[in-house]
Structure 1
Amino acid sequence: MQSHNVGKSAVLFGANLLFLAGVFASPIGALPLAGFLLLGFCAIKTVQRHPSRLLCWTWVTVIVALFIWLQGYALAAFLPEVPIVFSTLGLSYILFRILHMIYDGVEGTLEYKVSLVDYLNYTTHFLAFVSGPIDRYQSFKANFLSPLPAQTLMIRATLVRIVKGYAKVLILAASALYVFDNVTPQLFAQEGVALPKMVLLFSVAAACYTFYLYMNFSGYMDIVIGIARLAGLELPENFNRPFLSRSMLEFWSRWHMTLSNWFKQYAFNPIMAVLLTRWPSSRMAPLFGVLTFFFVFTVLGIWHGTTPIFIAYGLMLGLGVSINKLWQVALTARLGHKGMRALAANPLYTYAARGLTIGFFAIALLAFWMDMSDLVALTREFGVVGWLMALAVLSFGWIICVALQDLITGRSRWTFEWAKAPALVSYASMAAVIYMCITTQTILNKGAGFVYADF
């Protein structure tokens, strides 16, 4: 069994090396990544041998500072540039993996002896290198040693998931991106146009980009999770129907779940623990929560990009989650827990909450397709009234979509499960979807790419 695991690790290591060789144009361009990985491994081994919080935070500071320098953040502009051309692809996700291992190494929760090969397999796993999901080392190791059984029905269900992933990326995401690319030039070219038309153009662009982002990212996750499962590896889920969320708090428990859980476990919870230990007060807890939300989401925004608009993105997410939390606290104090449960069961309240959640998130995502000058110019045209109108249009549009979906699924008694259908029907359906993917790409003459490859 031990020799089998060693051989399996060697095969995965070889696959990772081949992947990296294809990603980086030259060995010199991969040197910064190699140095970053080596430094991370040294940090982990050091804190495991000498568990000290001071040593832990020293290493965290060094690793984060190196990351900021390599990524070219403005706050590191005073430092000399790296004298070679290199790629930072995958560096953001590697950062999270290294930081969690340093922290867990100090806490003594790394259950396995970390070898260099296992460490490199975890940090450079070719299926999750670019986009995540951000699995913990403990889960990765356990799943690697205990692969899924190769059952016929499981294989077919996995193939169905992979095909659905390609359909999301090549049909749905590509179509949404096509509409988005045709609408945004009209939005930024408008001068002296009536406010309602500008709001409508922005709302269409924001809705299309949000749909594109989700279908692109979740479709890619379906593909890599499916391929990993066929290889006997289990990657964690990253999405759980986030557009049905009734609050921003619920949304972040459904969207990019591995990233959300990482920030919750290694940023939000430790900060809250320190604050509540220093100032133990139940009345102050909501205020501490708001402050911590703002800090965590600001860091999350900065992680997504180096330009100032990503700070605004993080602050806006922090604002949304904070308002959501204070609203829940106020309503619970006024209605009580029983009243809150009754309100949450009210369909009108549920639809309104879903609409506002997704409408707010769609506006926040403008950081991914605008720069700060575009945002300032649009705000000058919109004013407060325009932004409120945009929120209303996006929210109401999503309410209609969800209501129609509930109406259709509620009245339909027939469902088609690809994996459980007869083999001929199942594989014919998958072939039809693949054909639709090829046809859509031919018509659009443009792929959807992968939106998170830059992070």
Structure 2
Amino acid sequence: MNVPSFEFLGFAAIAALVFNLFLAAGWRQAVLLATNLVFFATLMPSATACVPFLLFLAFGFGLMRLVQRTPGADHRLLFAGSVLAIVLVFAWLKKYGFFPSGMFLAFPYATVGLSYVFFRVLHLVIDARGGTLPPITALGYVNYTLNFTALISGPIQRYPDYKAQADTLSRPDLIIAGQGVERIFIGFFKVFVLSHVLHDLQLQALALLPETPGLWGTAAQGVIIAVSYPLFLYCNFSGYTDVVIGVGHFFGLRLPENFNKPFIAENFINFWGRWHMSLSNWLKTYVYNTVLMSLMERFPARSVEPFLGVLAFFVTFFLVGIWHGQTSEFVMFGLLQGGGVAVNKLYQIQMAQRLGKKPYKALCANPLYLIAARGLTFAWFAFTLFWFWASWAQIGAYYAALGWAGTLLVWALVWVGAAVVIEAVRRLWAVVLLLKAGGTPVAQSRYTRTVAITVVATLTTVFILLANSPAPDIVYKTF
């Protein structure tokens, strides 16, 4: 079952109706279990294909309970071994290249959603050691890890937040239901219309690039290829997130937001605070903080402390890259992500030391500096994404078609163009918000939003009916 799809919406609607028939906790947990298992089953091509996935879940549950129940001196060793075991079993199931190929299971099995379940299971084991984990039964564990609204591609929700919401026994009122429907319509529009158009635009530009004559012609195609993919990825993934967040409203679940206007970020560190936020927040809590504290204990001198943060940033976001895939392209993607945030942090340290904290802060608030910084941030992200969607051969063909002059021209145009467009959109939106009625911006009034959502829903329906090809699949479904 694809998410989003009309089939998924129908399934979720029926499940929500049954779920809200009664407020009894036992009823709701049972309905959630049935819903989660049925949805999980639709992703499995056969009964055998789901066995490794389910064994991984059982393995994680056993380790979590073991860590909880083991006190004393052996606790630290057991905890470290448990975390390492979960990471290695996950990497083995995902067939990472540092394992000999002969060690992998010979039969085909499904791993859709396993990457996000991995984060949930690992979080439970880590928090079990610290004693901060609320009591969790086998039923609660299955419903949390296989939560159908976030199984395929997240968002990554921590268990205490999930439990607090799951224990709330109330039905969605009209406002909550309206907010849920609004998010679903917006998500469908992003996935079925915007990401569809942007995906086709990139494919056409890729086909035309080798045949386009002239420096400016090839540069134009190169810019379209470079710019369309980050916009496509945003619409594709954030659209999916909108849909599942909207569906969650009808089950009393408030899934964490994954995006917060990422393209207005003024630097690459801030960008990752706005892009795939549930992932970056998880990594900040469980990787960055852990690595930084370990380094500070080993190197306690205050003079090196800022540079330890640089190293911790690199390690954290390098892991972001290799989590996405097992090929050398994703290793490069990780190096570029880790290198981007590390260089960004190092730049901040050096500028604060050379200019002084107040002058550097004033520089960062300069409008022209901010415009240029936003453009550069977008350009760097677009550059790194080549190793996200393309093979080395495709990347080589792209730059061979452009040549050195075309390459320099493309990235200069991407930088300047992004800076100008982002600033223009920001200023236009600021002007729109000045139009008020009764003290509320007209663009954010309930009437305007209702009209806008109606138009969006109509356009999406018409586009789906008239489109000659299906919308591209959710990119993050493959991870």
The answer to whether TM tops 0.5 is yes
Q: Which moved more, 1:62-71 or 1:284-293?
A: 284-293
Residues 177, 448 of structure 1: 8 Å contact kept: yes
1:348 pairs, out of 368, 393, 414, with 368
Residues 13, 117 of structure 1: 8 Å contact kept: yes
CA–CA distance in 2 between the matches of 1:95 and 1:408? 42
2:336 pairs, out of 316, 327, 330, with 316
Q: Following TM superposition, by how much is the alpha carbon of 1:341 offset from its aligned partner in structure 2, in angstroms? A: 2.7
C-alpha change, 1:408 and 1:428, in structure 2 (3 Å) is: closer
Q: Following TM superposition, by how much is the alpha carbon of 1:222 offset from its aligned partner in structure 2, in angstroms? A: 1.0
TM-score with structure 1 setting the length: 0.92
CA–CA distance in 2 between the matches of 1:202 and 1:70? 37
Residue 455 (structure 2) aligns with: 432
SS in 2 for 1:94: helix
Please list, as runs of the form range in 1=range in 2, the aligned pairs for 1:23-422 lying within 5 A after superposition.
Answer: 23-51=43-71, 52-110=75-133, 112-146=134-168, 150-187=172-209, 189=210, 196-379=216-399, 387-412=407-432, 413-414=434-435, 415-417=441-443, 420-421=446-447
Deviations 1:143-181 (A, max 9, x none): 211267633233223322221111111111111111011
SS in 2 for 1:74: coil
* 1:450 matches 2:474: yes
Percent of residue pairs identical:
35
CA–CA distance in 1 between the matches of 2:382 and 2:268? 12
C-alpha change, 1:387 and 1:98, in structure 2 (3 Å) is: farther
Q: Which moved more, 1:378-387 or 1:238-247?
A: 378-387
List alignment gaps of at least 5 residues for structure 1: none
List alignment gaps of at least 5 residues for structure 2: 1-22, 436-440
AA matched with 2:136: V
C-alpha change, 1:57 and 1:419, in structure 2 (3 Å) is: farther
Q: Which moved more, 1:178-187 or 1:84-93?
A: 178-187
C-alpha change, 1:149 and 1:16, in structure 2 (3 Å) is: closer
C-alpha change, 1:84 and 1:176, in structure 2 (3 Å) is: same
Q: Which moved more, 1:249-258 or 1:285-294?
A: 285-294
CA–CA distance in 1 between the matches of 2:361 and 2:169? 41
Residues 147, 234 of structure 1: 8 Å contact kept: no
Residue 18 (structure 2) aligns with: none
CA–CA distance in 1 between the matches of 2:359 and 2:91? 47
Deviations 1:233-270 (A, max 9, x none): 11111111111100011111111111001111111111
Residue 35 (structure 2) aligns with: 15
Q: Following TM superposition, by how much is the alpha carbon of 1:296 offset from its aligned partner in structure 2, in angstroms? A: 2.0
CA–CA distance in 2 between the matches of 1:283 and 1:147? 52
CA–CA distance in 2 between the matches of 1:185 and 1:364? 21
Q: Following TM superposition, by how much is the alpha carbon of 1:442 offset from its aligned partner in structure 2, in angstroms? A: 3.9
CA–CA distance in 1 between the matches of 2:113 and 2:382? 25
Deviations 1:24-70 (A, max 9, x none): 12111100101110101111001011152211121222222221221
Compute the RMSD of aligned alpha carbons. 2.2
AA matched with 2:156: I
Residues 148, 234 of structure 1: 8 Å contact kept: no
Q: Which moved more, 1:277-286 or 1:220-229?
A: 277-286
Q: Which moved more, 1:263-272 or 1:79-88?
A: 79-88
CA–CA distance in 2 between the matches of 1:182 and 1:386? 19
Q: Which moved more, 1:71-80 or 1:269-278?
A: 71-80
Runs of 4+ in 1 over 6 A off after TM superposition: none
Residues 176, 249 of structure 2: 8 Å contact kept: no
Deviations 1:81-112 (A, max 9, x none): 313221110010111111111111111110x2
CA–CA distance in 2 between the matches of 1:80 and 1:374? 31
Residues 355, 397 of structure 1: 8 Å contact kept: yes
Residues 360, 391 of structure 1: 8 Å contact kept: no
SS in 2 for 1:333: helix
Residues 69, 76 of structure 1: 8 Å contact kept: yes
Q: Which moved more, 1:139-148 or 1:270-279?
A: 139-148
CA–CA distance in 1 between the matches of 2:452 and 2:395? 44
Q: Following TM superposition, by how much is the alpha carbon of 1:320 offset from its aligned partner in structure 2, in angstroms? A: 1.1
C-alpha change, 1:286 and 1:79, in structure 2 (3 Å) is: farther
CA–CA distance in 2 between the matches of 1:351 and 1:90? 38
TM-score with structure 2 setting the length: 0.88
AA matched with 1:450: I
Residues 375, 418 of structure 2: 8 Å contact kept: yes
SS in 2 for 1:240: coil
Aligned residue pairs total: 447
C-alpha change, 1:155 and 1:288, in structure 2 (3 Å) is: same
AA matched with 2:149: L
CA–CA distance in 1 between the matches of 2:190 and 2:262? 15
